[in-house]
Amino acid sequence: MTKIAVKIPGLTMKNPLMPASGTFGFGDTPASTKFDLNQMGAMVMKTATVSSRTGNPQPQIKVLEDGVLNSVGLTNPGVDSVVADKILPFKAKYPDLPIVASVGGSSVADYVEVAGKLANSGAVSALEINVSCPNVANGGMHFGTDPEVVENLTSKVKAASGQVPIYVKLTPNVTDIAVIAKAAENGGADGVSLINTILGLEIDLKTCRPVLGNNYGGLSGQSVQPVALRMVNQVYQAVKLPIIGMGGIATAEDVAKFMLAGASAVAVGTAHFKDSLAIPHIAAELPRVLDEMGVSDINDLVGQLKFN
């Protein structure tokens, strides 16, 4: 029997697959009703902030040939409603599925407050600290580009999260992502997740304007995969933390590549635009891909990329 179960701080998973934050909303979007979510290793919730946010001007999403550009802007009903109306009912429906809640903010105090409320909900197994959203002017990736800020924020959020492990979600929009990962490690993170989306621009030639209402947006999907793999590998070499890898994963082969590069688990996001059953499909294919590689336990792949 090929083993595909994985274990990272807070998360005991039947397979390494979870949805990228935002992909399935709070488990209440049409895509998240297409299959039994218990087939995933874990559920990752959309980012919550202190107060509700309505998001950026429309259009917020542009589907490109090999990816998606989004400028959603952390739309959510605010952390109190996220806990009471989203996470607790979801936990009641899926008691055995580990939940990762995502934390956003416009100040360190915001992150601390949101993390504390999510951790104290009693329903989440881990937190993802989103210091990498490219679509908000005040907050988001501005907290994820300076190593001193990352270390300080991580240590304060860690103190507020009690026994709930924290994963710092890294932005690719930096010169050296390994330096940022090291800062998260120094601040006491239990793991890191990467990559969030790459800041981009698409232009409509008829109007000579950006296609997105907020002008720039974050690029995800197939076209970012080589960047994501390179960054996962750089972070793997720089820190001892477990890595949740993501960036254009659509097949079981892609999962194997991310694990070779150094990821211990993975997230699937943009693939759901083409196939809302991407996660169960990949889970079903994983044993075959591992068999073909001569691997009996998926954990044996982690970091086994060979350079010569």
Per-residue CA distances from 147 to 115, 123, 131, 181, 283 (Å): 20, 31, 11, 8, 36
Q: Pick the binder of ligand DOR from 16, 73, 165, 280 (CB under 6 A).
A: 73
What residues are annotated to the active site? Answer: 133
Q: Is 91 annotated as a binding residue?
A: no
Per-residue CA distances from 39 to 14, 139, 186, 290 (Å): 8, 34, 34, 19
Q: Is 169 annotated as a binding residue?
A: yes
Q: Is 244 annotated as a binding residue?
A: no
> Residue 114 interacts with ligand DOR (CB under 6 A)?
no
Here's the x/- map for ligand DOR, 202-241, by CB under 6 A: it reads as ----------------x-----------------------
Would you call 31 exposed, middle or buried from its count of C-beta atoms within 10 A (0-12, 13-18, 19+)?
middle
How far is Cα of residue 217 from the mean position of the Cα atoms in its chain?
A: 17
Q: Pick the binder of ligand DOR from 11, 44, 79, 133 (CB under 6 A).
A: 133
Q: Which stretch binds ligand DOR (CB under 6 A): 23-31, 68-76, 79-87, 90-98?
A: 68-76
Please, which residue, 74 or 259, has the CB nearer to ligand DOR?
A: 74
Of residues 18-37, those binding ligand DOR (CB under 6 A): 22
Closest separation between CB of residue 171 and ligand DOR, Å? 9
Handedness of CA 178, 179, 185, 190 (dihedral sign): negative
With contacts defined by CB under 6 A, how many residues of the chain interact with ligand DOR?
Answer: 14
> Residue 262 interacts with ligand DOR (CB under 6 A)?
no
Nearest-10 crossing angle of helices 147-160, 177-186 = 40
> Residue 105 interacts with ligand DOR (CB under 6 A)?
no
Q: Is 196 annotated as a binding residue?
A: yes
Q: Which stretch binds ligand DOR (CB under 6 A): 111-119, 129-137, 259-267, 280-288?
A: 129-137
Cβ atoms 52, 77 nearer than 8 A? yes
> Residue 196 interacts with ligand DOR (CB under 6 A)?
yes
Please, which residue, 115 or 260, has the CB nearer to ligand DOR?
A: 115
Q: How far apart (Å, rounded) are the C-alpha atoms in residues 154 and 218?
A: 23
| Bridge partners for 198 per DSSP | 219
Closest separation between CB of residue 140 and ligand DOR, Å? 7
Q: Is 197 annotated as a binding residue?
A: yes
> Residue 49 interacts with ligand DOR (CB under 6 A)?
no
Q: In degrees, to the nearest 5, what angle opens at C-alpha 289 toward C-alphas 285 and 290?
A: 115
Q: Is 46 annotated as a binding residue?
A: yes
Q: Which stretch binds ligand DOR (CB under 6 A): 67-75, 203-211, 238-246, 276-284?
A: 67-75
Q: Give the closest residue to 2 by CA, choosing from 278, 258, 246, 286.
A: 286
Backbone angles phi, psi at 28, to 5 degrees: -125, 15
* Binding residue ranges for FMN: 21, 46-47, 130, 169, 195, 221, 247-248, 269-270
Give contact residues for ligand DOR (rule: CB under 6 A): 22, 47, 70, 72-74, 130, 132-135, 196-197, 218
* Binding residue ranges for substrate: 46, 70-74, 130, 196-197
